[in-house]
């Protein structure tokens, strides 16, 4: 009787056991996902933070893993962006041969290349320790005590290798994917800082998946 | 004895269906409007249903959708497969006074939260489902 019972419900029991084992498979999958979390935490993340100067409760935070951006950018084919490259023409650059300009900067020694001190703005372009610096300070024309005050301040710090990678494509192209790849090899860096009357913008690179 | 067999068969089928459903994940949509008489929508749907249901959609609708979404489909496919590598991460967060928008991943799902004084919207979709849907639409593109 018992043997007959086991024979009849045996296959069913086996299938139930197999199915009940499936959640274990799910847990195993989750564990694999956790492994991915820990490995992805060493990835490089590009952070953008925009804070309104007037209302501190207005903020925009964007966090993008560089590896993901490298993979997704080539999939975007719209207007001038194709295969991770942006096409531009001479007209966009006011007929300035940017490649020749960058070649000159690359082969030159560290130092300040451009220093402009005007009534409207101060501009400083320099190369130092493998980085290219561009600082622009826009001034207010008038102020109450007669002294000029800062209207906006832009500070850009880009590794030269990233600039090289950016211009590594064709003559009239910017290779964004190559630039991102070059950027991922760098340590924690503050890339762009903009302080204006309206907003504060910060773009930086680190290995955290959250912005501070 | 026959009843016992039937019950066991039914139970095992139910367990199989439940396990399969939760393995694929759940699509969750929660909409709460705070005004008087505002709607409250709370939808939980097994993600496994979506790719299956898409097989019953007439092909011509897919072709039309594919034509419209053609240039975005590769981006959606790339994004949905890449985002799975970054579980529990916040990608976009916008705070504008009382308005709050957040795009993040929770495990292998994408979660979009919109919270403001008028309404709260929370949408959670398994990234695998988005990828499957994009793949099926892309496959319907004329000439593919």
pLDDT-derived band of residue B5, with 50, 70 and 90 as boundaries?
A: confident
pLDDT-derived band of residue B13, with 50, 70 and 90 as boundaries?
A: confident
Cα–Cα distances (Å) from A84 to A76, A169, B101, in that order, read 7, 10, 28
For chain A, the domain total comes to 2
B89–A210 CB contact, under 8 Å = yes
Closest to A61 measured CA to CA, from B82, B101, B76: B101
A26–B92 CB contact, under 8 Å = no
Residue to substitute from A43, A72, A76, A198, interface B, most B β-carbons within 10 A: A72
| pLDDT reported for residue A30 | 40
| pLDDT reported for residue A211 | 63
Q: Is the pLDDT of residue B131 over 90?
A: yes
Q: Are residues A148 and A199 in the same domain?
A: yes
Q: Is B89 on the interface with A (CB under 8 A)?
A: yes
| pLDDT reported for residue B12 | 84
- Strands A111-117 and A121-128, bridge-based pairing: antiparallel
Chain B residues near residue A20 by CB distance under 8 angstroms: 15
Residue to substitute from B11, B95, B102, B113, interface A, most A β-carbons within 10 A: B95
A71–B88 CB contact, under 8 Å = no
Give a three-class secondary structure readout of chain A: CHHHHHHHHHHHHHHHHHHHHHHHHHHHHHHHHHHHHHHHCCCCEEEEEEEECCCCCCEEEEEEEHHHHHHHHHHCCECCEECCEEECCCCCCCCCCHHHHHHHHHHCCCEEEEEEECCCEEEEEEEECCEEEEEEEEECCCCCCCCCCEEEEEEEEEEHHHHHHHCCCCCCEEEHHHHHHHHHCCCCEEEEEEEECCEEEEEEEECCCCCC
Chain A residues near residue B130 by CB distance under 8 angstroms: none
A8–B5 CB contact, under 8 Å = yes
Mean pLDDT of B51-66: 83
Q: Are residues A157 and A102 in the same domain?
A: yes
Percent of chain B clearing pLDDT 70 (strictly above): 96
Contact B113, B100 (CB under 8 A): yes
Contact A189, A148 (CB under 8 A): no
Cα–Cα distances (Å) from B12 to A9, A24, B73, B102, in that order, read 12, 17, 38, 40
Cα dihedral A158, A161, A166, A172 sign: positive
Give the C-alpha separation, A5 to B68, whole Å.
Answer: 60
Q: Are residues A94 and A15 in the same domain?
A: no
| pLDDT reported for residue A120 | 86
Q: Is B44 helix (H, G, I), strand (E, B) or coil?
A: strand
Q: Are residues A178 and A108 in the same domain?
A: yes
pLDDT-derived band of residue B94, with 50, 70 and 90 as boundaries?
A: very high
B92–A37 CB contact, under 8 Å = no
Of B8, B74, B79, the CB nearest to A12: B8
Half-sphere exposure for A10 (CA within 13 Å, toward CB): 7
Q: Are residues A78 and A56 in the same domain?
A: yes
- Where chain A has pLDDT below 50, the residues are 1-2, 5-6, 8-9, 11-41
Q: Are residues A90 and A51 in the same domain?
A: yes
Cα–Cα distances (Å) from A97 to A80, A176, B37, in that order, read 19, 19, 63
| pLDDT reported for residue A156 | 95
Q: Are residues A107 and A134 in the same domain?
A: yes
Cα dihedral B48, B52, B53, B57 sign: positive
Strand order across the beta sheet in which A81-82 lies? A81-82, A85-87, A173-175
| pLDDT reported for residue A25 | 37
Give the C-alpha separation, A34 to B139, whole Å.
Answer: 32
Domain assignment present for A113 = yes
- The Cα of B91 is separated from the nearest Cα of chain A by a number of Å equal to 5
Q: Are residues A148 and A163 in the same domain?
A: yes
Q: How far apart are the first and last CA of chain A?
A: 70
Q: Is B92 on the interface with A (CB under 8 A)?
A: yes
Structural domain boundaries in chain B: 25-139
A72–B96 CB contact, under 8 Å = no
- The Cα of B100 is separated from the nearest Cα of chain A by a number of Å equal to 10
Cα–Cα distances (Å) from B110 to B26, B28, B73, B91, B123, in that order, read 11, 11, 17, 10, 8
A63–B79 CB contact, under 8 Å = no
What is the pTM assigned to this prediction? 0.77
Range of the domain at A32: 1-40
| pLDDT reported for residue B109 | 95
A75–B11 CB contact, under 8 Å = no
Domain assignment present for A211 = no
């Amino acid at each position: 009787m018992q043997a007959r019972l086991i024979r009849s419900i045996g296959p069913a029991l086996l299938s139930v056991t197999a199915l009940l084992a499936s959640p274990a498979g799910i847990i195993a999958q989750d564990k694999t996902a956790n492994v991915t979390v820990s490995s992805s935490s060493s990835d490089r993340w590009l952070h953008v933070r925009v804070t309104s100067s007037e209302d501190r409760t207005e903020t925009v935070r964007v966090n993008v893993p560089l590896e993901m951006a490298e993979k997704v950018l080539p999939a975007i084919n719209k207007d001038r962006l194709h295969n991770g490259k942006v096409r531009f023409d001479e007209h966009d650059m006011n007929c300035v041969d940017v490649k020749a300009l960058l070649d000159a900067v690359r082969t030159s020694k560290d130092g300040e290349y451009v220093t402009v001190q005007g009534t409207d703005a101060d501009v400083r372009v320099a190369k130092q320790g493998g980085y290219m610096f561009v600082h622009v300070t826009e001034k207010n024309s008038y102020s109450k005590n007669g002294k000029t005050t800062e209207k906006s301040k832009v500070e850009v710090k880009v590794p030269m290798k990233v600039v090289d990678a950016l211009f590594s494509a064709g003559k009239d192209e910017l290779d964004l994917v190559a630039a991102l790849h070059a950027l991922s090899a760098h340590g924690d860096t503050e890339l762009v800082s903009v302080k204006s009357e309206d907003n504060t913008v910060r773009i930086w690179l680190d290995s955290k998946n959250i912005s501070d | 004895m026959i009843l016992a067999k039937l019950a066991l068969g039914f139970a095992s089928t139910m367990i199989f269906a439940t396990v399969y459903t939760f393995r694929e994940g759940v699509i969750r949509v929660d909409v709460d409007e705070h005004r008087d008489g505002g709607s409250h929508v709370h939808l939980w749907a097994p993600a496994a249903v979506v790719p299956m249901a898409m097989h019953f959609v007439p092909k011509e609708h897919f072709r039309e959708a594919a034509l419209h979404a053609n240039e975005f489909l590769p981006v959606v496919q790339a994004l949905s497969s890449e985002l799975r590598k970054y579980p529990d991460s916040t990608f976009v967060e916008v705070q504008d006074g009382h308005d709050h928008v957040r795009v993040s991943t929770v495990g292998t799902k994408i979660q979009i939260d919109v919270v403001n004084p008028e309404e709260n919207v929370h949408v959670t979709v398994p990234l695998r489902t988005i990828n499957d849907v994009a793949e099926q639409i892309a496959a319907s593109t004329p000439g593919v």
